[in-house]
A and B are shown apart, each in its own frame.
Chain A
């Protein structure tokens, strides 16, 4: 007489694998967002992260400003990422934003021939950031993704550049056209001297200042 089969021990707990769902032809549900927290500083920002334009390029524009919270205080631990087309309108991007020294592993910066289209800047102790880039081709805006301690899910916004810096016309932009003037104003970079623009980001209105328009792409 054969002994009864031994029942298997219960399976290991944990997340069902997205891979298994995908293999079964199901759409795997998204992984939830979590805050970037306060301690990303030695991992995410990189040297020359805000210098998207090759050093000394005559068309270089500077975009700078502060990130504020709902009490109007500057946020000293926000991380901003920028994405934009190259001046010729290409949206293909290019590798090499974090180009490394093969000997030391240090980040040596972009090589300046390809335009990578990607920038990353952490705000300083005063909540301030600076981006040096080339005018985006074909659209009047630079896309921004905001991360911060206290922000559980990143936020998207856009820096709209006025005049000849932007190849397009902001007035003809469908997003700008859809916004009431007070809201629209939060997306417009303010000229400040030659080829320099001010763009502040307010994660929450503080009563005196309008909250920045943030975007949902569905």
Chain B
């Protein structure tokens, strides 16, 4: 019997394990005669129903005058790992104009090298996959460019495998692709990376769970309050509705802002395809810093 149906299949070997749950109906192991198999993961239909329900509740709340949410709620049960990893107590508001968090770390030319922005040129050979250019501007909540700040990215290779030892997805590693890059934004807040389009990959959140192709982004703004870690997706991916991480952004318009746009003018003939993705960092900053940044 193939191992993929009994809880030990490839999708279950990912590091993204669901947290322990109460005992559920007899695991599939009974069918295979294995001892002590973990409880069967929920089906996609279960997760999809929870996703739809959460979105419906959000829409109702907004209709009833509730706030629109730009960010995902930290408690989002369809993403099982969030269940034990979010605070239950409300955040404590700090409105101290002298808070240290209204300033933030700075980076410079000593923190990056020229090659860091080209993920296709970090090894002796060319990586496999579709070469792409990803660029855009980093802006603050007032639409001003975030200048000279650090942008870091990481991603799976074209086959959907990370160069990380805990990623045991049985897709090939690419000896010519690591998948990590850095750059500093320019005076207009612009960043640019050359990389390959990452593949979709399976994970253990639920049965037959697949992440849509994405690039992880880490961004710094003018203040520590503006810190952002997020993921960029590619337009038209059929996996969007099935993915609880993307769908954790319950506001439709906000979720759309995670999707890059294909821009033909950014494509290079006979070389690479171009995507544009602008990023907006919210959060207050010390006003005295504005001149200097």
* Residue of A71, A77, A83, A152 with most partner-chain B CB within 10 A: A152
Contact with A along B65-108 (1 / 0, CB 8 A): 00000111110100101111111110111111001111111111
Q: A152-B74, A211-B87 are in contact. Are A17 and B94 (CB under 8 A)?
A: no
A33 to chain B: which residues have CB within 8 Å?
71-72, 228-230
Q: Say whether A203 contacts B277, CB under 8 Å.
A: no
Q: Say whether B143 contacts A26, CB under 8 Å.
A: yes
A71 to chain B: which residues have CB within 8 Å?
19-20, 84
Which residues 242-263 of B have a CB within 8 angstroms of A?
A: 245-246, 248-249, 253-263
A154 within 8 A of B: yes
Main secondary structure of the interface of B (DSSP, over half): loop
Binds B, one of A38-46, A56-64, A190-198: A38-46
Distance in angstroms between the alpha carbons of A124 and B36 in the assembled complex: 28
B216 within 8 A of A: yes
Q: Assuming A179-B92, A217-B99, what are 8 further A-B pairs, CB within 8 angstroms?
A: A12-B262, A15-B257, A28-B278, A94-B106, A150-B81, A153-B74, A154-B229, A203-B84
Q: Say whether B107 contacts A69, CB under 8 Å.
A: no
Q: Say whether A149 contacts B235, CB under 8 Å.
A: no
Q: Say whether B141 contacts A217, CB under 8 Å.
A: no
Q: Which 10 A-B pairs have the closest CB atoms?
A: A14-B261, A22-B143, A95-B108, A150-B81, A43-B154, A118-B105, A150-B85, A18-B278, A30-B282, A216-B91
Chain A residues near B (Cβ < 8 Å) = 12-15, 17-19, 21-23, 25-44, 69-71, 73, 75, 77, 81, 83-85, 91-100, 102, 105, 116-118, 136, 139, 141, 143, 145, 147-156, 174-175, 178-179, 183, 203-205, 211-218
Distance in angstroms between the alpha carbons of A19 and B228 in the assembled complex: 18
Q: A44-B154, A175-B94 are in contact. Are A30 and B106 (CB under 8 A)?
A: no
Binds A, one of B24-32, B52-60, B158-166: B158-166
* Shortest distance from the beta carbon of A185 to any chain B beta carbon, whole Å: 14
A36 to chain B: which residues have CB within 8 Å?
216, 218, 229
Contact with A along B191-208 (1 / 0, CB 8 A): 000000000000000000
* Shortest distance from the beta carbon of B288 to any chain A beta carbon, whole Å: 10
Distance in angstroms between the alpha carbons of A170 and B224 in the assembled complex: 21
Q: Say whether A17 contacts B276, CB under 8 Å.
A: yes
Distance in angstroms between the alpha carbons of A81 and B142 in the assembled complex: 25
A35 to chain B: which residues have CB within 8 Å?
79, 81, 229, 231, 245
Q: Say whether A39 contacts B166, CB under 8 Å.
A: yes
Which residues 212-251 of B have a CB within 8 angstroms of A?
A: 216, 218, 224-225, 227-231, 235-236, 245-246, 248-249
A116 to chain B: which residues have CB within 8 Å?
105-106
The number of chain B residues with a CB under 8 A from chain A is 103
Contact with A along B151-178 (1 / 0, CB 8 A): 0111010000011101100000000001
Task: Give the residue name and chain of the B residue nearest to A152 (CB).
Answer: B72
A-B contact number at CB 8 A = 302
* Residue of A22, A81, A99, A217 with most partner-chain B CB within 10 A: A217
Q: Say whether B261 contacts A214, CB under 8 Å.
A: no
Of the candidates B104, B180, B276, B281, the one whose C-beta lies within 8 Å of that of A30 is B281
Query: Could you name 24 residue pairs across A and B whose Cβ atoms are closer than 8 Å?
Result: A12-B235, A15-B260, A28-B278, A32-B258, A38-B15, A39-B164, A41-B166, A70-B88, A83-B100, A83-B101, A83-B104, A94-B106, A95-B109, A98-B107, A143-B224, A145-B224, A149-B16, A152-B82, A155-B87, A183-B92, A213-B89, A217-B101, A218-B93, A218-B283
B163 to chain A: which residues have CB within 8 Å?
42
Q: Say whether B261 contacts A15, CB under 8 Å.
A: yes
Q: A34-B231, A147-B229 are in contact. Are A214 and B71 (CB under 8 A)?
A: no
Task: Give the residue name and chain of the B residue nearest to A30 (CB).
Answer: B282
Q: A84-B100, A141-B100, A204-B87 are in contact. Are A214 and B92 (CB under 8 A)?
A: yes
Distance in angstroms between the alpha carbons of A30 and B219 in the assembled complex: 13
* Shortest distance from the beta carbon of A152 to any chain B beta carbon, whole Å: 4
* Shortest distance from the beta carbon of A10 to any chain B beta carbon, whole Å: 13
Q: A143-B224, A151-B85 are in contact. Are A17 and B278 (CB under 8 A)?
A: yes
Q: Say whether B228 contacts A100, CB under 8 Å.
A: no
Q: Say whether A143 contacts B101, CB under 8 Å.
A: yes
Q: Say whether B101 contacts A30, CB under 8 Å.
A: no
Q: Say whether B284 contacts A217, CB under 8 Å.
A: yes
Q: A12-B261, A26-B143, A39-B15 are in contact. Are A154 and B236 (CB under 8 A)?
A: no
